[in-house]
A and B are shown apart, each in its own frame.
Chain A
């Protein structure tokens, strides 16, 4: 299978060529949604709901609006929010993308803002459809992985199968990102042993310790009620299952949301904010994690689920891996891969790992995932604060 991508000014290649319709405060959300609606296959809504300024949100929106899968950007501002729309527009323009900002308070209100926005999107979609593609190889890909709605099967079927796919991708030069340090609690030692350098090992260990403290302050682990229904009893049990997604490659670095991995390899994303607990739970739902991996350039996300999550994402396709054969039977229209076969004994981890790898290549080549085809375009971004990563985090 040959892959073709859309070459961006920064050298990265996109596997889709979309218009991002970006609202900068909840007050502009409706207008953004209406702008995208007639072209919703090619125009995806992203945005930040808050009115108070937040450096993290600003840089996340900059990264997302210049994601390799994005070809043009429509910024939708109410006009009085604190988000720095001028800086965002400049950032997008400097990336070589077509961009326009609509300020609802200046354009005469809802109706006229929607009309102007729809006209921009219409023109942009047409222009993007005529753009030429360039050849793309596996080493150009950035793949993220999350698990959600985990149960007692996730850690023995879907997650290790995703890990096998990761091992193959990394061996072929791709960039793979795993995350949610709050779900690596109890795995610090075995994970640190895979670090490229002893200094990085310390950073990996510290990131999990930070997560454990953070969650202890909040009084809840990264553990939902459904996890327990599915047979998971503790956060460390869930963690061991989640950890299996990372495969067995050497860990090349530790990044934070929005950091672009400098070269191929396996990276841990530290998603837990730095400093005192301020804005609540690190990731209030699975899509927050998907958004952060997109901000670090993930072209698509592998999503392993036991209980049965149906979500997709704006901007970057989500491949859903069912860990559990009973759930696969109920939700097959939403699932791309049935790793439940491993539980039933009808397929091996290697076979499902290969199936996932081949699907990644196909999706990069244009095949629609189930959630993409069903129109799932979930997106969520909330307040956080991070310190920049230190030099020990990226030894390569």
Chain B
């Protein structure tokens, strides 16, 4: 039974989608595992539904959406820091705001 703040799109997926913002330190039930969220996540982001090893495909909607660049444990935020595209690299403005804001 998975927390109702999370959406499981397909049973074989490696990730769940966050339905609303969730704060750091909150307890979540993912599958039958209880995890404490390590970082705050906002709506639409992904958390690991199952443990993934470096190089494994990340499944969402039941299909691969890229592969893991590090080992990922259940409940961990899955995003640019631990997965990559198998097609073209992803460009993001990460850090640009803090770098240029006074």
B88's contact among A235, A306, A325, by CB below 8 Å, is which? A235
B19 shortest CB reach to chain A, Å: 6
Instruction: Give every chain B residue within 8 A of A231 (Cβ-Cβ).
Output: 17-18, 42-46, 79
B45's contact among A152, A155, A225, A235, by CB below 8 Å, is which? A152
Q: Hey, which bits of chain B sit against chain A, CB under 8 A?
A: 7, 9, 17-21, 42-46, 58, 60-61, 63-66, 78-80, 83-94, 96
A174 shortest CB reach to chain B, Å: 27
Q: How far is the CA of A151 from the CA of B18 in the complex (A)?
A: 12
Q: How far is the CA of A151 from the CA of B65 in the complex (A)?
A: 14
A225's contact among B21, B63, B93, by CB below 8 Å, is which? B93
Contact A228 B92 (CB under 8 A): yes
Q: Please, which residue of chain A has its CB at the minimum distance from the CB of B46?
A: A231
Q: What mask results when residues 151 to 191 of chain A are scored 1 for a CB within 8 Å of chain B, else 0?
A: 11111100000000000000000000000000001100010
Instruction: Give every chain A residue within 8 A of B93 (Cβ-Cβ).
Output: 225-226, 228-229
Contact B61 A155 (CB under 8 A): yes
Would A236 and B64 be within 8 Å (CB), given that A156-B9, A221-B85, A225-B91 are in contact? yes
Q: Hey, which bits of chain A sit against chain B, CB under 8 A?
A: 151-156, 185-186, 190, 212, 215-216, 219-221, 223-226, 228-237, 240, 306, 324-326, 343-345
Q: How far is the CA of A155 from the CA of B21 in the complex (A)?
A: 18
Instruction: Give every chain B residue within 8 A of A190 (Cβ-Cβ).
Output: 63
Contact A234 B44 (CB under 8 A): no
Would A185 and B44 be within 8 Å (CB), given that A228-B92, A233-B79 are in contact? no
Contact A236 B65 (CB under 8 A): yes
Would A234 and B85 be within 8 Å (CB), given that A186-B64, A225-B93, A240-B63 are in contact? yes
Instruction: Report which residue of B19, B58, B79, B88 has the largest number of chain A beta carbons within 10 angstroms of its beta carbon.
Output: B88
Contact B44 A230 (CB under 8 A): yes
Q: Please, which residue of chain A has its CB at the minimum distance from the CB of B77?
A: A231
Contact B86 A324 (CB under 8 A): no
Q: How far is the CA of A152 from the CA of B42 in the complex (A)?
A: 10
A234's contact among B18, B42, B65, by CB below 8 Å, is which? B65
Contact B44 A152 (CB under 8 A): yes
Q: Could you list some 6 contacts between A and B, CB below 8 A?
A: A156-B7, A156-B17, A212-B87, A215-B87, A219-B88, A233-B78
Instruction: Report which residue of B42, B60, B80, B96 has the largest number of chain A beta carbons within 10 angstroms of its beta carbon.
Output: B60
Q: How far is the CA of A228 from the CA of B83 in the complex (A)?
A: 12
- Interface SS majority for chain B: loop
Would A240 and B45 be within 8 Å (CB), given that A221-B88, A228-B92, A234-B85 are in contact? no
B94 shortest CB reach to chain A, Å: 7
Instruction: Give every chain B residue within 8 A of A219 (Cβ-Cβ).
Output: 88-89
Contact A235 B87 (CB under 8 A): yes
Would A324 and B44 be within 8 Å (CB), given that A156-B9, A236-B66 are in contact? yes
Instruction: Give every chain A residue within 8 A of B46 (Cβ-Cβ).
Output: 152, 231, 233
Contact A216 B42 (CB under 8 A): no
Contact A306 B44 (CB under 8 A): yes
Contact B44 A236 (CB under 8 A): no
B88 shortest CB reach to chain A, Å: 4
Q: How far is the CA of A233 from the CA of B42 in the complex (A)?
A: 14
Contact B43 A326 (CB under 8 A): yes
Q: How far is the CA of A156 from the CA of B19 in the complex (A)?
A: 10
Contact B80 A221 (CB under 8 A): no
B17 shortest CB reach to chain A, Å: 6
Contact B43 A236 (CB under 8 A): no
Contact B92 A236 (CB under 8 A): no
Contact A240 B42 (CB under 8 A): no
B89 shortest CB reach to chain A, Å: 7
Q: How far is the CA of A156 from the CA of B15 in the complex (A)?
A: 14
Q: How far is the CA of A236 from the CA of B67 in the complex (A)?
A: 11
Q: Please, which residue of chain A has its CB at the minimum distance from the CB of B9?
A: A156
Instruction: Give every chain A residue within 8 A of B7 (Cβ-Cβ).
Output: 156, 343
Instruction: Give every chain A residue within 8 A of B89 (Cβ-Cβ).
Output: 219-221
Known interface pairs A231-B17, A233-B79; 16 further A-B residue pairs with C-beta atoms within 8 A, sorted by A's residue number: A152-B44, A153-B44, A154-B44, A186-B87, A219-B88, A221-B85, A221-B87, A225-B96, A231-B46, A233-B65, A233-B83, A234-B66, A234-B90, A236-B85, A326-B21, A326-B43
Contact B88 A220 (CB under 8 A): yes
A100 shortest CB reach to chain B, Å: 46
Contact B44 A151 (CB under 8 A): yes
Instruction: Give every chain B residue within 8 A of A235 (Cβ-Cβ).
Output: 85, 87-88, 90
B48 shortest CB reach to chain A, Å: 12
Contact B43 A233 (CB under 8 A): no
Instruction: Give every chain B residue within 8 A of A226 (Cβ-Cβ).
Output: 93
